Amino acid sequence: MTDTLQKVHLPAEFHVKLDFYWQSIAVYAVTLIVYVMIKAIWDSTIQQGLVNVVLTDPVVVLLGSFVLITTFSLIVNSVSRRSIIISEDAVTYLSRFHERTFQLDEIEKIVVGSERRTNVRGVLALVRIYIRGRRRPLRVRPGLFENEHGLVSALLTLRHQAQHP
């Protein structure tokens, strides 16, 4: 499994992808515009040069709320600037507001594999990092980060160092 992954020089920083939010906003906004245009043609108000948008129309309210909620989520995630830094001896979760570092001696094991419930993002859908003194493992989904193969490779390198100090 490690032969196909790219080599990463540690320390390496991996940022959260925001592409999904941009794509969602685009799809919802285009759908909203197309619906309003079709509704205006259907009501034959576009021949008069007016497009009346009824804000109480349930489809307009639903699509508009999708656009607003996704835009708000994009703003929150871009402001927080979440990332993971993998170094030779630690894993650091970093955001604009918080930083948490787990040293190599705190890490019990790192398990790379798929999630039991769904297998949407491929074989490497989930990485679990077991920490001494924590009840539940840290869960990292590499598919949510830029350069996901580099993240998995860095975590495998860290796992190898944790097993062979």
Task: Provide the pLDDT for residue 153.
Answer: 87
CATH architecture of the region 12-16+84-163: Roll (2.30)
State yes or no: pLDDT of 59 exceeds 80.
yes
Alpha helix positions (H), the chain: 19-42, 58-80, 148-163
Rounded Cα–Cα distance for residues 69 and 44 (Å): 31
pLDDT digits (tens, 9 = 90+) for 72-96: 999 999 999 999 999 988 999 999 9
State yes or no: pLDDT of 124 exceeds 70.
no
Task: Provide the pLDDT for residue 80.
Answer: 93
Give the Cα-Cα-Cα angle 21, 22, 27 (nearest 5 degrees): 100
* Residue 128 Cα distances to 75, 137, 156, 163, angstroms: 28, 6, 11, 15
Rounded Cα–Cα distance for residues 32 and 67 (Å): 9
Domain regions of the chain by residue span: 12-16+84-163, 19-79
